[in-house]
Structure 1
Amino acid sequence: MPYLPLFCLALAVAAAPQAHAAAADPQPEIERPAALPQAVGAVHSLRTIPEACARIEGIFTGDAAEPYRFAVVKTHPNCTPRARFVDADKAAPSADTGWLFNDVIRVPAADCPSQQAVVRVWRKPAEVAPPELDAQGRARIYLQDSAQTRADAAARVPVFAAAMTVEGEACATR
C-alpha cells in the first residue's frame, strides 16, 4: 500500500508535459487519435475538406531544416467549392476573431518516434442570412441588384485555414 501514492505521483508527473501541450490548444470540434507513423518521402493524406474541394497532404522530408511539409491540393478539377481555404499566416485564426478550432492531426515519423508533425485546422463559419423581404413579403433578387447579391454571397462562405508545426525531439541522422 505505501507504494500506491508514489506510483500515482509518478504517473501524474509523467502525464504533466502531455497535459500542458494539450491545454495550449482549445478543444477541437473533431476528436481523432494520432495517425499511423509515416516514412520519409511517403506522401500521405491528412484530411479532406469536401466543401472546400481541398485535401491536405503531408510528407516527412528527412531534411533537418524542414523535416515536414504540407500542402493543400484541389481534390478534383470539376469540384465547385462551397468554402474557401486560406493561408493561416495571413488569416491569423483564433477564437477571439470568430474562428473555431476544428481539428488537430498528429502524424508521428516512422523512423523517429519522438518527432511528430501537428496540423491544426481552423474553421470560420459563414454568416448567411436570407435576402431581405420586399414590399410583398417575398425574398426576391432583382436583376439590377444581382451582381451585388452574387458578390455578397461569395464573401459569405465558410473559410478554413491550416497551420503546421513539428513537435518533439529530432533524431540523429544516419
Structure 2
Amino acid sequence: MRRLLILFAAAVAAPVLAADPAPEIRRAPVPPQALGVAHTLRTIPEACARLQGEFSGDAAAPYRFAVVRTSPGCRPRARLVDAAQARPSPASGWILNDLIRVPSAACATQQAVVRVWRQPAQVAPPALDPQGRARVYLEDSLQQARAGRLAPLPAYAVSLQVEGLPCPR
C-alpha cells in the first residue's frame, strides 16, 4: 500500500516537475528531515539572509518557513522580495536560481519545495577618469541618492509549496 502511495505521489508531482525551468544551481537531494527540527535550506549572502525550514506535523501548515538575517552588521547587495507579489517567471526576466526539495522523514509522501528566483540587475561600471581609473566619490554618490538615481539592485524571490499527500495522524 505504501509503495502504491509513493508511486501515486510521484505521478502527481511529475507534471509539476516538468513545468519548472532548469535551475542555475544543481544540488544533491536533501536528506529527509524530522518533525520539529529546524534546518537551513540555503544562505543568500548578497541579501544577508538564510532560508530556514521545519516540518511541523500540523495538517493545516505542515512546513514552517522563515527568512533569517545572517548578521546585524551585514549590508545587503541584493533585495529579497515576496514571490507572491513579484510573480517571478522566465518571461518577466526572472531566472530560476535554485530548486530545493525537502522530503519529510515522518511522511514519505510529502515534501517541501522551495524555489529561489533571481532577477539580475544591469549595472554599468563607473566611467573611467582621465587617468584610466574607475573612481567613486562619496559626495557624487550622495547627490545621486538624493536625486533618486541609484543603480538598481539584483533581487531574489523565494516561494514555498508543500507537495504530495498528507499523512494520516
TM over 0.5: yes
Which ranges of structure 2 fall in alignment gaps of 5 or more residues?
1-9
Which ranges of structure 1 fall in alignment gaps of 5 or more residues?
1-14
| CA distance, structure 2, for counterparts of residue 98 and residue 43 of structure 1 | 32
Tell me the equivalent position of 1:4: none
Tell me the equivalent position of 2:6: none
Tell me the equivalent position of 2:152: 156
TM-score, normalised via structure 2 length: 0.81
Deviations for 1:44-100, whole angstroms, at most 9, x for unmatched residues?
000011111110000111110110111111111111211111111111111111110
Q: Secondary structure at the match of 2:113?
A: strand
Q: Which amino acid aligns with 1:152?
A: R
Q: CA RMSD in A?
A: 2.6
Which one of 146, 149, 161 corresponds to residue 165 of structure 1? 161
| CA distance, structure 2, for counterparts of residue 39 and residue 172 of structure 1 | 16
Tell me the equivalent position of 1:50: 45
User: % of aligned pairs identical?
Assistant: 61
Q: Secondary structure at the match of 2:144?
A: helix
Equivalenced residue count is 159
TM-score, normalised via structure 1 length: 0.79
Following TM superposition, the consecutive aligned residue runs of length 4 or more in structure 1 with deviations greater than 4 angstroms are: 15-19, 131-145
Q: In structure 2, do the counterparts of structure 1 residues 140 and 50 end up closer, same or farther at CA, with 3 Å as the change threshold?
A: closer
Which one of 97, 113, 118 corresponds to residue 118 of structure 1? 113
Tell me the equivalent position of 1:26: 21
- 1:1-174, aligned counterparts within 5 Å? 19-131=14-126, 145-150=140-145, 151-153=148-150, 155-173=151-169
Instruction: Kindly state the Cα deviation for residue 102 of structure 1 after the two structures are TM-superposed.
Output: 0.5
Q: Secondary structure at the match of 2:75?
A: coil
Q: Which amino acid aligns with 1:117?
A: A
Tell me the equivalent position of 2:3: none
